[in-house]
Amino acid sequence: MAERILAVCEGDARTIHHRAAAAAGLAQKFAIESKGEADILVVGAAPPPPGHWARAWRLEGTCGSAVDVTARLINEGGYALVVLGDTPFLRELAGRLSVRLDLPVVASAFALRRRDGALVASRPAMSGARTANLAIGRFPALVVVNPDAAEAPSTSSRATEAQPLTVPVVPPPFTLLREERLSPGEMEVTEADVVVAGGRGVGGKEGFDRLTELAALLGGSVGASRVAVDLGWVPYARQVGLTGKSVSPRLYIACGISGAIHHTLGMRESSFIVAINSDARAPIFKIANVSIVGDVNEIVPELIADLEARAPGAERLAAVAGAGR
């Protein structure tokens, strides 16, 4: 059955937001499987991700103004589905559109398929212990796509020129008073998006200096296991675990931490866990997304060197300047 699908993504001046790229991928996949057409709307100045887009638009503005334009596109486009990336801006847009157009919403979907004639979306349920399959009974429907849903469209596909859409210029509702970039030492371990944590395997205070440098490059903070705190390598305020602080960052890099239960209880809610440990049987590997058996003091400097080579000059200088604990 030929169906039309609209992908709504968000991006900065150069690229699509990493939490929105999956929406484009899922739209491409669905259009191919249903022999339909996929259109894309990019919020921001980024070019559309490579792929076979029948039509492409872009707009810049606040969510309040973007909702008018997007609602018009949906009304005129005859879409079965509108898939959106999982960013705060796009979730707000989905909520506003659901009310404005009285549309059903499925959130955190990672798959879309036809089953016995019904369109079924799958999403995590019961804290990830099961997958819920939901039948969509009314169209068009809004689907907020889980960032892990699908690979982004292949870069070998052709690039598409996006047509700019006119959005009324309205002042932002919230006045920005100040913006600052916190160094790892200034950032509480509980509020960081990225936590680079070390344990006994780091080997000493010098090892933690390298972890701080890595945290600065990733815009994060430094954490530690109880052992590292007891040895006096880092202050207690940095301790993660049952007798320390609980954290739930997007990225948790555990360096030289075995993963005893009293530590993992404080970090298991992290979205993405990287574990580096010289012991292949360390329990931390059971919950890690990336498991590396090796010496922290060899791997971390190599990682820092690679990230420094990728970082633009200004970012690198800012990161190094703010690296002091």
* Per-residue CA distances from 175 to 61, 149, 178 (Å): 15, 35, 9
Q: 265: exposed, middle or buried (C-beta count within 10 Å: 0-12, 13-18, 19+)?
A: middle
Strand partners, 272: 251
Residues within window 214-233 making contact with another protein, judged by CB under 8 A:
218-221
Residues within window 94-113 making contact with another protein, judged by CB under 8 A:
94-96, 98-100, 102-108, 110-111
How many other CB atoms are found less than 10 A from the CB of residue 92? 15
Both tokens of residue 175?
Answer: 């006045």
- Look up residue 236 and give its DSSP letter: G
Closest CB to another protein among 59 and 214?
214
Candidate list 156, 310, 313, 314; residue touching another protein; CB under 8 A: 310
Which range touches another protein (CB under 8 A), out of 37-45, 153-161, 228-236, 297-305?
A: 297-305
3-state DSSP assignment of residue 156: coil
Rounded CA separation 299/15 (Å): 29
**Shortest separation between residue 186's beta carbon and another protein, angstroms:** 9
- To the nearest 10°, report the CA torsion of 2, 24, 43, 109: 90
Q: Is 71 in the site for another protein (CB under 8 A)?
A: no
Which range touches another protein (CB under 8 A), out of 37-45, 155-163, 174-182, 227-235?
A: 174-182
- Look up residue 153 and give its DSSP letter: P
Q: Are 256 and 204 in contact (CB under 8 A)?
A: no
Closest CB to another protein among 37 and 61?
61
Q: Is 18 in the site for another protein (CB under 8 A)?
A: yes
Closest CB to another protein among 133 and 209?
133
**Shortest separation between residue 156's beta carbon and another protein, angstroms:** 16
Q: What's the residue count for the chain? A: 325
Q: Is 93 in the site for another protein (CB under 8 A)?
A: yes
* Per-residue CA distances from 288 to 27, 241, 271 (Å): 30, 16, 10
Candidate list 42, 196, 255, 303; residue touching another protein; CB under 8 A: 303
Closest CB to another protein among 36 and 85?
85
- Report how far apart the first and last C-alpha atoms of the chain are (Å, whole number): 59
Q: Is 321 in the site for another protein (CB under 8 A)?
A: no
Which range touches another protein (CB under 8 A), out of 31-39, 40-48, 118-126, 205-213?
A: 118-126
Q: Is 317 in the site for another protein (CB under 8 A)?
A: no
Residues within window 29-58 making contact with another protein, judged by CB under 8 A:
none
Closest CB to another protein among 163 and 298?
298
Rounded CA separation 104/284 (Å): 40
Closest CB to another protein among 164 and 193?
193
